């Protein structure tokens, strides 16, 4: 019989619960973002009918076309890279921005959120591995951004996000997740910012991320199936 969205949603929640149990964490400490990129409003609607409330997109333009056709009670997170010239459009569409990687972008989001009259929590993307990935702040560059972040009223920095270099074996991601958490602990203490959120872990490695302290996992293919190429 064909696997339904409900089947995959149940499997993912079972995996989440097992990882939380292994880590001695409560299941409600970890929230899931259903990454619906490349899938249309019909698929989002079906997921929403199974009780999914938070969706992730990685492109502003795709989200602009999709979100108006989706149920109005859903929350939308931008999980992908954002160019600063799209900050205004992103602030209008999204409830949270996961991959802020410059002070310029952070300031633009703060201005845009002020203009929208909304609070738009953001996370800083940190390139913990220092290799391959084009995006993310180098750990050495983050302190300047964090020092300035304290003054921003509309786009508060609530945590850190990372995308480790892709490796099929989930264990390869563990040192990167662990490092993000250690940087968070260090910067929380040093800048007095409540960086409570850690956005890390995707379909194939979210259990490891949960064991290392993730509060947000970003799950696409395990819920919606492959996106093709």
Ligand X SMILES: *Cc1c(COP(=O)(O)O)cnc(C)c1O
Q: How far is the CB of 80 from ligand X (least distance, A)?
A: 5
Q: b/e for 27-62, b at 16 or more Cβ within 10 A?
A: eeebbbbbbbbebebebbeebbeeebeebbbbbbeb
Cα distance between residue 96 and residue 145, in whole Å: 18
Rule CB under 6 A: choose which of 203, 209, 210, 211 binds ligand X: 203
Output the DSSP codes for 40-57: -HHHHHHHHHTT--EEEE
Q: Which is nearer to ligand X, 107 or 199 (CB)?
A: 199
Binding region for ligand X (CB under 6 A) out of 16-24, 41-49, 149-157, 213-221: 213-221
Q: How far is the CB of 39 from ligand X (least distance, A)?
A: 11
Please, which of residues 39-68 interact with ligand X by CB under 6 A? 58
180: exposed, middle or buried (Cβ count in 10 Å: 0-12, 13-18, 19+) = buried
The DSSP code for 137 is B
Interaction between residue 35 and ligand X (CB under 6 A): yes
Give the residue closest to ligand X by C-beta: 220
Please, which of residues 75-104 interact with ligand X by CB under 6 A? 79-80
Binding region for ligand X (CB under 6 A) out of 86-94, 107-115, 143-151, 212-220: 212-220
Interaction between residue 127 and ligand X (CB under 6 A): no
Going through 66-196 in order, the beta strands assigned E by DSSP cover 75-78, 96-100, 122-125, 157-161
Interaction between residue 164 and ligand X (CB under 6 A): no
* Helices assigned H by DSSP within 117-205: 142-149, 174-191
Q: Which residues bind to ligand X, rule: CB under 6 A? A: 35, 37, 58, 79-80, 163, 202-203, 218-222
């Amino acid at each position: 019989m064909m696997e339904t969205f409900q089947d995959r949603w149940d499997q993912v929640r079972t995996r989440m619960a097992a990882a939380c149990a292994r880590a001695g964490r409560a299941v409600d400490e970890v929230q899931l973002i259903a990454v619906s990129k490349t899938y249309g409003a019909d698929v989002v609607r079906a997921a929403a009918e199974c009780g999914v409330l938070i969706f992730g997109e990685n492109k502003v333009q795709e989200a602009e076309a999709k979100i108006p056709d989706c149920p109005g009670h859903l929350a939308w997170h931008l999980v992908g890279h954002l160019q600063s010239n799209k900050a205004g459009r992103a602030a209008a569409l999204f409830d949270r921005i996961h991959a802020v990687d410059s002070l310029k972008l952070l300031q633009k989001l703060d201005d845009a959120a002020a203009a929208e009259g909304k609070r738009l929590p953001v996370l800083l993307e940190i390139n913990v591995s220092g290799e391959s990935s084009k995006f993310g702040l180098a750990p050495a560059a983050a302190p300047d951004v964090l020092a300035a972040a304290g003054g921003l009223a509309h786009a508060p920095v609530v945590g850190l996000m990372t995308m480790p270099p892709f490796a099929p074996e989930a264990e390869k991601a563990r040192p990167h997740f662990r490092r993000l958490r250690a940087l968070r602990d260090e910067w929380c203490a040093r800048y007095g910012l409540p960086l409570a959120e850690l956005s890390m872990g995707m379909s194939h490695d979210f259990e490891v991320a949960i064991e290392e302290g993730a509060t947000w996992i970003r799950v696409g293919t395990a819920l919606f199936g492959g996106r093709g190429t």
